[in-house]
């Protein structure tokens, strides 16, 4: 590993100037390989952490001199058991699979919200805030109104979309009109959203009657996404997939999408070509906000989760890593969302069976993204990976190409 990195510079030195050698593989396949390698590496890092933290290994290390194989077998079994539990918890049967999909649902929508903005050259760090505002409106329509089935759900979802679109749209308008940097504005609006939510939960309009802690009523059953059988998986998952198809269509098949991508690739050139950059920013942020708002509806209308100050969990921030792993494409985002959902669901099971702390899955997710964001690092560890044209540059620019 280390020898590779030290050897690397010599042959690579002249390379940066020239076009790197291209393999016969299409670029999506190479990207997939890099992502896959990143996942393998992350699992290796995780394995080390499991071994270091394992009690049995510690005991066995104590008498390492006497029976070294004990340490090895304890380490192997610790890692094996933990990852087996992770896999079983994520994929081993109907309940685990549906649980993985349920966990993936808001991550996909949130990831799309970040991806779409990325493609327009905007870093939408505000999915969290947009999700919260979407969840607030959707939940309010859900529990305060009384409407027939179907209609109630549709209206609640629309309310969520509007909430998110509004919160995202503000950013777009500020960026387009005043040039305010979207990273700053979205981060600040995240705070506004969470404090707005905390305040609303102290008002009688939102707080559940009879409760003194900040929690809203559960939404009416009419306003909930129908669930599949007695699992927690709900219609919101299909909606998330449809949203991904929509984003694909928008980006790749529509005139607006072409403008968005053009602005993302080079705003100045787009302006010269007669496109309205400001309009593109506003459209991108409104749609991105609506997608995050959709993720918000999946939180409050999907599972019977009431509105609390923790309703967004860290979905809006995980969405950024999902979009990173998905490389800004709708399909990639869906796959990344599914992976993270599976890791979340499996992680809960892993801590239950082997008592491996839940934080390990967080570490895995973080390390995966770290390696994906640094393809050169992955390539130096796995030198056999084929070269790809300008991946690093594309990533750094936010997939503008």
Partner 1 sequence: MKKYVRGTAIVGVLTLAVAACGSKPTEENAGGSANKDFKACMVSDSGGFDDKSFNQTSYKGLQDAVKAKGLTEVKAESKSDNDYPTNMTAMVNAKCNVIVAVGFKLEDATEKAAKANTGIKFAIVDSAPDTAKVGEIPNLKPLLFNTAQTSFQAGYLAAAMSKTGKVGTFGGIKIPTVTIFMDGFAEGVKYYNTQKSKNVQVLGWDDAKQTGLFTNDFEDKAKGQTNAQNLITQGADIIFPVAGPAGLGGLQAAKASSGKVNAIWVDTDGCVSAAEYCSVLISSVQKGMDVAVQDAIESVVDNKFDNTQFTGTLENGGTSLAPFHEFDSKVPADVKTELDQIKADIVSGKITVASKAQPKAS
Helical axes 127-144 vs 94-119, angle rounded to 10°: 120
**Residues 174-213, mask of contacts with partner 1 (x by CB under 8 A):** ---------------------x--x---x-------xxxx
Q: How far is the CB of 270 from partner 1 (least distance, A)?
A: 40
Among 329, 356, 365, 380, binds partner 1 (CB under 8 A): 356
Record the tokens describing residue 315, joined without a space.
Answer: 């979905």
Query: In sequence order, which residues have a C-beta less than 8 Å from that of residue 134 and are 6 or more positions away?
Result: 160, 161, 163, 164, 167, 289, 290, 292, 293, 294, 295, 296, 297
Q: How far is the CB of 151 from partner 1 (least distance, A)?
A: 26
Residue 367's closest CA among 39, 35, 30, 103?
39
| HSE-CB of 281 using CA atoms within 13 angstroms | 24
Cα–Cα distance, 90 to 95 (Å, whole number): 9
Residue 89's closest CA among 339, 347, 340, 303?
347
Cα–Cα distance, 365 to 368 (Å, whole number): 5
Number of residues that bind partner 1 (CB under 8 A): 54
Q: Residues 22, 383: contact at Cβ < 8 Å?
A: no
* 328 or 347: CB nearest partner 1: 347
**Residues 82-121, mask of contacts with partner 1 (x by CB under 8 A):** -------------x---x---x------------------
Among 77, 227, 266, 276, binds partner 1 (CB under 8 A): 77
Among 357, 374, 382, 397, binds partner 1 (CB under 8 A): 357
**Residues 248-287, mask of contacts with partner 1 (x by CB under 8 A):** ----------------------------------------
**Residues 310-339, mask of contacts with partner 1 (x by CB under 8 A):** xx-xx-------------------------
In the region spanning residues 42 to 61, those forming contacts with partner 1, defined by CB under 8 A, are: 49, 52-56, 59-60
In the region spanning residues 381 to 400, those forming contacts with partner 1, defined by CB under 8 A, are: none
* 28 or 195: CB nearest partner 1: 195
**Using rule CB under 8 A, residue 362 touches partner 1:** yes
Record the tokens describing residue 106, joined without a space.
Answer: 């808001």
* 4 or 55: CB nearest partner 1: 55
Backbone angles phi, psi at 340, to 5 degrees: -65, -40
Alpha helices in 54-179 (DSSP H): 55-62, 68-91, 94-119, 127-144, 151-178
Helical (H) or strand (E) element with 35: helix 27-53
Backbone angles phi, psi at 133, to 5 degrees: -65, -40
Cα–Cα distance, 161 to 292 (Å, whole number): 8
Among 305, 325, 335, 385, binds partner 1 (CB under 8 A): 305
* 150 or 358: CB nearest partner 1: 358
Binding residues vs partner 1 (CB under 8 A): 49, 52-56, 59-60, 70, 73-74, 77-78, 81, 95, 99, 103, 195, 198, 202, 210-215, 218, 232, 299, 303-306, 308-311, 313-314, 345, 348-349, 351-360, 362-363
């Amino acid at each position: 590993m280390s020898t590779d990195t030290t050897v690397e510079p010599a042959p690579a030195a002249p390379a940066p100037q020239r076009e790197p050698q291209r393999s016969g593989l299409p670029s999506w396949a190479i990207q997939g390989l890099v992502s896959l390698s990143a996942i393998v590496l992350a699992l290796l890092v995780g394995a080390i952490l499991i071994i270091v933290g394992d009690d049995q290994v510690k005991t066995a290390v104590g008498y390492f001199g006497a029976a070294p194989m004990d340490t090895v077998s304890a380490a192997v079994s610790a890692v094996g058991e933990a990852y087996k539990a992770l896999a079983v918890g994520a994929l081993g049967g109907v309940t685990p699979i549906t649980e993985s999909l349920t966990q993936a649902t808001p991550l996909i929508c949130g990831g799309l919200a970040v991806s779409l903005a990325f493609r327009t050259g905007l870093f939408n760090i505000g999915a969290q805030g947009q999700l919260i505002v979407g969840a607030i409106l959707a939940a309010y329509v859900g529990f305060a109104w009384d409407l027939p089935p179907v209609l109630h759900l549709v209206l609640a979802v629309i309310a969520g979309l509007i909430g998110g679109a509004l919160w995202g749209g503000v950013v777009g308008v500020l960026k387009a009109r005043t040039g305010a940097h979207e990273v700053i504005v979205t981060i600040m609006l995240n705070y506004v959203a969470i404090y707005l939510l905390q305040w609303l939960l102290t008002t009688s309009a939102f707080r559940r009657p009879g409760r003194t802690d900040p929690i809203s009523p559960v939404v009416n059953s009419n306003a909930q996404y129908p669930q599949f059988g007695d699992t927690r998986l709900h219609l919101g998952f299909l909606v998330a997939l449809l949203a991904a198809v929509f984003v694909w269509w928008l980006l790749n098949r529509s005139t607006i999408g072409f403008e968005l991508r053009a602005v993302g690739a080079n705003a100045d050139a787009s302006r010269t070509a007669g496109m309205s950059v400001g309009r593109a920013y506003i459209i991108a942020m409104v749609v991105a906000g609506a997608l995050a708002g959709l993720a918000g509806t999946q939180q409050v209308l999907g599972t019977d989760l009431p509105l609390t100050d923790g309703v967004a969990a860290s979905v809006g921030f995980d969405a950024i890593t999902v979009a990173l792993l998905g490389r800004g494409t709708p399909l990639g985002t869906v796959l990344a969302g599914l992976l993270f959902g599976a890791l979340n669901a499996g992680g809960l099971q892993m801590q239950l069976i082997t008592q491996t702390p839940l934080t390990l899955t967080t570490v895995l997710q973080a390390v995966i993204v770290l390696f994906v964001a640094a393809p050169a690092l992955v390539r130096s560890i796995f030198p056999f990976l084929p070269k790809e044209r300008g991946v690093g540059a594309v990533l750094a620019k936010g997939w503008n190409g």
